[in-house]
Amino acid sequence: MCRDGDIEASADELAAIKDWHVESLLKFKTVFQPILEKLLPS
């Protein structure tokens, strides 16, 4: 997962990039958390 961006981008573009990353991480967690819970001892 990646997305192009530039530290000198506008505030709106940086906010959109941040939102995209948060959404992607939440999807990642949704997919992998159940798998990890089964594999790792509690």
pLDDT per residue as tens digits for the range 27-38:
999 999 999 999
CA-CA distance, 33 to 20, in Å (whole number)?
Answer: 20
Which residues touch 3 (CB under 8 Å, ≥6 apart)? 17, 20, 21
pLDDT value for 2: 84
CA-CA distance, 5 to 12, in Å (whole number)?
Answer: 12
Q: How far out from the chain centre does Cα 18 lie?
A: 9
Handedness of CA 32, 35, 41, 42 (dihedral sign): positive
Q: For residue range 10-29, list pLDDT tens digits in order.
A: 999 999 999 999 999 999 99
* pTM of structure: 0.72
